[in-house]
A and B are shown apart, each in its own frame.
Chain A
Amino acid sequence: MSANGTALDVTAPARVKPERARWPLRLRSRGAVGVVMCLPLIALISGLVAYPFFYSIYLSMLNKRETTFVWLDNFRYLTTLDTFWTVVQMSFLFTFLAVLWKAVLGFTLAVVIHALPVRGQRVWRGLSLIPWVMPLALSSLGWWWIYEPTHSALNWLLMLVGISPKPWLSEPFWARFSVVLVNIWYGTPFFMITYLAGLKSIPQELFESSAIDGASAPQRLRYVTLPMLKNIIAITLLFSTIVTLATFDIIRVLTRGGPRHTTHVFGTYAFELGIATGDVPLGAAVSLFMFPILAVSAFFILRGIRRSTV
């Protein structure tokens, strides 16, 4: 275009003027086309995300029969329930433990796969992603069967090595352990794949020169790998915090929040109240408790991404 334009400038100066005069119009129509092309997206976001969000705030301030406006009574009522505080505790515990272990295991696996000869990496990376690819509700069903106490594999394996069988899903401690374990199983591949992509983006010369300077493997990890991956690690952690806090499938399938509400997280408890027992406003209020954490994480993710692109 520019070559074409300058050629025109030299050979036919008379054409320059109309070309310039056309610019504003062309810009305007270009913008108009852009807006039109984005209309479906804008409709989708405003109608099915923004509107439901505000509607959710409105709903959370109605009474159970949705006839009167009760301001913050639902939120106040929730804070008087012991069950609600159990849910809050479990949501944070679940998110913290699961994200921590997924990050540690995902990082370990990424480093180990990265150390292999390039030829062999593809197979192991491919196999490691299987948990992430299976629909979570269905693999949770598989785990439900694994945890079955008398006829299934896990307790059989424990007994094989001389450990007494465990009541995986029927006792609070083990039920919490079990649902966290399934989340780790499901999410570690995601951490592995992002960290592996990060590792591959580090220039190989950095490792080589630090090795020549006599840095040991742990030192290289501490002073080269981790600083180079700082941003990716942070973004992945925050992103996973959001997804993990919003967990639903695993807990709904494995325990339905039981025993005695000890494994409920915000999502499953909101479902229990809002859909299963029909108190829509109270359910909406429970969901909204997730929002501040999501908003803070989103803010820092956005900042991290801007930083890495600038």
Chain B
Amino acid sequence: MLSRSGRRKATLLVCYGIIGLFVIFFLFPPYWMAITSLKTNQEIEGLKGIPLLIQEGATLQHYRDLFAKTDFLIYFKNSVLVTVPVVLLSMAISVLAAYALSRLGFVGASVLGTAVFLVYLVPDSLLFIPLFKIVGNLGLLNSKWSLLLVYPPLIVPFCTWLLIGYFSSIPKELDEAALVDGASHLQMLVRVFLPVAVPGLIAATIFAFTVSWSGFLYPLAFIFSSSEQVLTAGTVTSLIKGDVYHWGGLMAGAVLACLPPVLLYVFLMDYYISGLTAGSTKG
């Protein structure tokens, strides 16, 4: 029979063992992508030694080629050009709606609240075909600007919902006092609510950025030319050329395209997680 602290140590050891297995499973793909992007072509194609390590010297050639010989930079620029306005637009719509829904009781507010929640559950693969027709009718087919139209519906419901949670936690006395002092609702939103809800705003912005940056189905369906394509669909469709896959170059592209959301996550992890769990615990 083990002592109490001995048992505790044994339990911890088992826990760390299980977590270790999970972390290897979770991190192997990014590790394999990164290491492949740094290997020479000869090493990737050769079957010598241990492929899990770089044995013949690391190279940045695949990254240099990505910038010099492919449309990668165009995709990158397009992704930025789409993501920035999508985030701003979505945040503006969400902030206004969240303020109104959490503070200004009006006829139909609760119905709208439920509708927002239901819309949050609508996945992109349910409506991309009618949206394909609608985008076409508006003359936006094969244009990156079509994404400004179709991404906000995927983002706004969650952000609104998240912000309602943050706004509701602000004491009502605060806005009553401000209103008595003659502040308009817009002034109050900007001067009282937004400063208090900064963590919520950060979490919502990260969410908006991630959805917009990672979207794959819509650009794949609506955009055909390289000059208009964004990173996800561009990397997947046009960096693959011919029958011989250039794994090194492909992985270099994937790694670089993954970097912005992953970096954002690394630096703002706590906001990210609070946003992610807001729905499940508060809701």
Contacts and interface: CB of A to CB of B under 8 A. Distances in A.
Nearest to A126: B269
26 contacts: A30-B106, A40-B93, A42-B112, A48-B152, A51-B134, A53-B127, A56-B130, A105-B22, A108-B18, A109-B19, A124-B19, A129-B269, A134-B262, A137-B232, A141-B236, A146-B32, A151-B47, A185-B25, A232-B280, A235-B283, A236-B280, A248-B217, A280-B129, A284-B129, A294-B121, A302-B118
B252 to A, nearest CB: 11
A131 interface: yes
B126 interface: yes
Nearest to A194: B280
A290 B131 contact: no
Contact of B129 (A48, A150, A151, A270): A270
A275 B24 CA distance: 38
A115 B93 CA distance: 41
A1 interface: yes
Interface string A246-265: 11110011000000000000
A142 B30 contact: yes
A298 interface: yes
A86 interface: no
Contact of B23 (A59, A127, A198): A127
A48 B232 contact: no
Interface stretch (B55-63, B64-72, B172-180, B197-205): B172-180
Contact of B26 (A32, A130, A309): A130
A5 to B, nearest CB: 9
Contact of A198 (B93, B104, B258, B281): B281
A204 interface: no
Contacts of A113: 15, 19
Interface in B76-126: 92-94, 96-97, 99-101, 103-107, 109, 112, 114-119, 121-126
Interface in A68-125: 105, 108-109, 112-113, 115-116, 124-125
Interface residues of A, number: 99
A250 B93 CA distance: 31
Interface of B: 11-12, 15-16, 18-19, 22-23, 25-30, 32-33, 36, 44-45, 47, 51-52, 92-94, 96-97, 99-101, 103-107, 109, 112, 114-119, 121-134, 149-150, 152-153, 156, 160, 173, 176-177, 180, 185, 210, 213-214, 216-217, 220-221, 232-233, 235-236, 245, 247, 250-251, 254, 257-258, 261-262, 265, 269, 272-273, 276-277, 280-281, 283
A287 interface: yes
Nearest to A156: B51
Given A44-B152, A124-B19, A271-B221, A134 B236 contact: no
A308 interface: yes
Contact of A308 (B94, B216, B251, B283): B283
Contacts of A44: 93, 152-153, 156
Nearest to A242: B121
B129 A56 contact: yes
Interface in A145-201: 145-146, 148, 150-153, 156, 185, 188-190, 193-194, 197-198, 201
Contacts of A16: none
Contacts of A142: 29-30, 32-33, 251, 254
Interface string A269-310: 011001100001001100110110010011001100100110
A145 B115 contact: no
Given A31-B106, A52-B131, A41 B112 contact: yes
A236 B93 CA distance: 27
A141 B235 contact: yes
B257 A138 contact: yes
Given A31-B104, A151-B45, 4 more contacts: A30-B106, A134-B30, A246-B124, A290-B125
Contacts of A129: 265, 269, 272-273
Contacts of B127: 49, 52-53, 56, 287
Contacts of B115: 45
B269 A232 contact: no
A215 to B, nearest CB: 16
A275 B129 CA distance: 8
Contacts of A40: 92-93, 96-97
A44 B47 CA distance: 54
A137 B235 CA distance: 9
